Structure 1
Amino acid sequence: MEWDWNFVRQIMPVLVQGVKITILATLLGSILAAAVGLVIALGRRSDNRIVARSIGLIAEFIRGTPLLVQLYFIFYVLPDVGILLPPLLAGVIGLGVHYGTYTAEVYRAGIDNVPRGQWEAAKACNLSSRQTWTRIILPQAIPPMIPALANYFIGMFKETPLLSAITVLELMNQAKIVANSYYRYLEPITLVGAFFLAISLIAVVLMRWLEQRYGRIEP
C-alpha cells in the first residue's frame, strides 16, 4: 500500500479534532491529578492514624491496578449504581485519580525536603496549621516538584489512547474510525504516531526548561 497525500489531506481535519480532545483530556486530567495528589499527600500526613492509613491503602490500590480497568469501572460499572458520566468526563476523572496517586509521592518527597527548621520556625511564630502549610511549607516545597510533576503529565498524555476504550473521540479513536471506514491504516495510524511524537518533543523541551529553572526532585 502506497502513501496517499490526498487521503492525508482528507482525514487531517478529523485527526486534528482528535488532537484537540487529547490535549484537553491531558490538561484537565493534569489539573485533577495535581489536586488529588496534594489531597492524598496531606491526608497521609494526618495525625489521625485511621485517616492516614485509609488514604494510603486507597492510593496503593489505585496505583496497583491498571488504568484501563479503572476507566472501564468508571464508565461501564458506575452507571449500574446510578452514576452516568459523559465519556470525556469519565476519562478525565480516570486519568486524574490514577495519576494523582503518583503525584502524591512527588508531593511527599517535596514536603519532606523542606528543612525541619522551617517547621520549627512556623511553630515558634505561633502560626496555625493552615498558615504553616500555605505560607511556609508549600511555597518552598512545590517549585522543586514541578519538573517531576511535568514528567508524569507527559506520561499521562501518552496514555490518552486508552480513552478510546470508553468511546472518547480522542486522536487514536478518531484514527481507528477513519481507518475502519476507508480500510486504510497506513496514513491514519502513522499520523497518530507523528502527532504524539511532535507534541511529546515539545513537552520534553518544556520539561528541560523547568528542570533548569526549578531543579529536579525525584519521587
Structure 2
Amino acid sequence: MDGVRVVLIGGTSHTGKSTVARAVADRLGFAYRSTDGLARHPGRPWPTPEWRVPPHVAAHYRSLTVDELIASVLDHYARLWPRIEELVTGHALAGPDGGGGLVLEGSALWPGRVAGLTVPHTAAVWLTADEEVLAARVRAAAGYDRMEAQERAPVDGFLARMLRFQSLLLGTVGRLGLDRLDTSDGREADALAGEVVAVAAAQHAVGRSGAGSR
C-alpha cells in the first residue's frame, strides 16, 4: 500500500461496503467516509428502532417503475460526482504532511467515472454479491416476512432498483476490466479488508490490477 492515500469501495447496497470500508480504514489508519454523507437520495424504505420511513421515501419506491428509479438514482450520482472528485483529489494530492489517507465507500462511486480519474495514489475496488444473496439480506434487514402487503411494496421497489443497479455496474466493471470482490459467501469483514488492501496495492491504475473479479 506504499503511496496509496485514497481507497474507494463501490457497489450496490448490502454488499458489505460500509463494514469492509471501516475495517480497511482501521487497518490502514485512514479516515472513513461514505458518499451518503455528501448528499442523500431516498434510501432504505423500512423502519428501524431509531428511524421511521418518511412518506415521500415510501412513495418514491411505491410509485416509480424500476426504470424510473434507476434513472433517478443515476442522475443523483452524476450530480454528486464533482464533490466526490474534489474530495478524492484533495486527499490524493495532500502528500504525507497533508493529513491522513481516506477510505471512501458508496454506491455513488460509479465505475465509469472512477476509472477516468487521473489523480495519483488512488485505488478502487467494487463489492458485488449474487442476486439471491442480496435479496435475502434486504428482506432479513427489513423484516419482510413480518410486513403487510402495503409495507412490502416499497421494499420490493428498493430491491428491484438495487438489483438493476448491480447488473449495470457489473457490465461496466467487466467492460473496463476493473477489480471486484464477490461477498456472497459472507466471509468476515477483516478477511475482505485484507483482500481489498491486497488488490489496491497491486493496482497500476485506478481500479485496475489486471486480476479482475475474485
Q: TM-score, normalised by structure 1?
A: 0.28
Task: Give the number of the structure whose residues are more often helix, by fraction.
Answer: 1
RCO (CA 8 Å, sep 6+): is it higher in 1 or 2? 2
Q: TM-score, normalised by structure 2?
A: 0.29
